[in-house]
Amino acid sequence: MDIGITIFNHILLNQKLNPGATGAFTRLLMAIVVAAKVIQRDVAKAGLVDVLGRAGGINVQGEEVQKLDEIANEALKRLLSASGEVCTLISEEEADLIEIPRQYNRGNYLVHFDPLDGSSNIDANVSIGTIFSIYRRVTPPEMDADLKDALQPGLRQVAAGYVVYGSSCMLVYSTGSGVHGFTLDPTVGEFILSHPNIQVPTKGKIYSINEGNYGYWDEGTRNYIEWLKDPNANHPKPYTARYIGSLVADFHRNLLYGGIFLYPADLRDPLKPKGKLRLMCEANPMSFIMEQAGGLATTGTERVLEIQPTEIHQRVPLIIGSHDDVKLYQDFIAKANG
Ligand code: AHM
Ligand code: MG
């Protein structure tokens, strides 16, 4: 029986279109694919914690039980290091650049990742995800990778993607020639091409934002959200609110249906004056994918992919989605800023 196009074949086809390709990039992507399957397996067992043992406690075999975000982090570190194609890794879970163990070859790529995004939702069985962003190193190969490699603007990404652990497990990625989605067929353990060439609708009718922060937003954001909800405004179709609170899941829905996701700067937490989401492991990869799908991503005043990063864990406002919706948001911000 034909099972369709596997992700491995899809990546190989891409490799063949690039005459200079050595296979290094294919090996790197496949390491992420295997990590996604490992994480999916463990996420699927999350509801059994009371049976298998609580994180931080001891399981029935007498072993210490790890938290799922630690398991996901370790899986990505181990599989990416063993691919022999990375010179360093940067994880949302770790403060500094991760050194590749000496027993592995060093490669020319580096990966920023958020191993398990939205992990506060795990106990409620809500969709969560993994996000990754791949760059080529810029320092000479004989040197240890450093911040020059890690702090490149999003425009330099060679690939980005995410995995959503939802009602089915999907992996969506782009290498700069369109956005392609694959669904894990659990009966054969393979990701199969299910959403080729995803294009986001030019305009949507969904808006996604944590409205609990309303009182802490800037004036332009407040005016925009008021306008979306105003029954007397001249909307072609009324807007509807959808907010899961799990970036990958909110993003994925809006990518398929059209709409806008906003995590603007707010004054709720003085320690996070630029919003909550991280530039390198959340905003940049999602912006790369959204632009590849025909949408836009901005901070309100600046294209996300053009930001020159200064810190590996820096935060940015992220407004991302259908082209016309994001453009209109920018108009509200420009008007409020005079
Ligand atoms: P995390 O990386 O600690 O999981 O936080 C990121 C998550 C995103 O998935 C989501 O978009 C956002 O936090 C939701 O934040 P809030 O609860 O403030 O609405
Ligand atoms: Mg996160």
How confident is the model over 255-268, as pLDDT tens digits? 999 999 999 998 88
CA of 234 to the centre of ligand 1 (A): 32
| Cα end-to-end span (Å), the chain | 62
What average pLDDT is seen over the chain? 92
Decide if pLDDT at 292 tops 60: yes
Whether the CB of 119 sits within 6 Å of ligand 1: yes
The reply to whether ligand 1 has any atom less than 6 angstroms from the CB of 121 is: no
Phi, psi of 173 (to 5 degrees): -145, 160
Pairing relation of β-strands 190-195 and 180-185?
antiparallel
Mean pLDDT for the stretch of residues 82-92: 97
Residue 112 has a pLDDT of 98
Q: Is the pLDDT of residue 41 over 90?
A: yes
Is the model more confident about 85 or about 54? 85
On the question of pLDDT at 95 being above 60, the answer is yes
Nearest Cα residue to atom 18 of ligand 1 = 210
pLDDT at 314: 96
Give 236's pLDDT tier (boundaries 50, 70, 90): confident
Atom of ligand 1 nearest to the CA of 263: 11
Quote the percentage of the chain above a pLDDT of 70: 94
Cite the DSSP H helix spans in 66-218. 68-82, 147-150
**Using one digit for the tens of pLDDT, what is the confidence trace for 123-148?**
788 999 999 999 999 999 989 999 99
- Report the C-alpha dihedral over residues 41, 44, 49, 54, rounded to 10 degrees: 50
Whether ligand 1 lies within 6 angstroms of the CB of 275 is answered as no
The finding on whether 66 has its CB within 6 A of some atom of ligand 1 is no
State yes or no: pLDDT of 227 exceeds 60.
yes
More confident residue, 2 or 250: 250
Residues 6+ apart with CB under 8 A from 66: 55, 74
Alpha carbon of 56 to ligand 1 centroid (Å):
23
Average pLDDT over residues 199-227: 97
Choose one of 112, 114, 116, 117 to mutate for the ligand 1 pocket test, by most ligand atoms within 8 angstroms of C-beta.
Answer: 117
Residue given tokens 């491995």 in the structure block = 8
Going by CA atoms, what residue is nearest to atom 16 of ligand 1? 245
Burial class (CB in 10 A: 0-12, 13-18, 19+), 135: buried
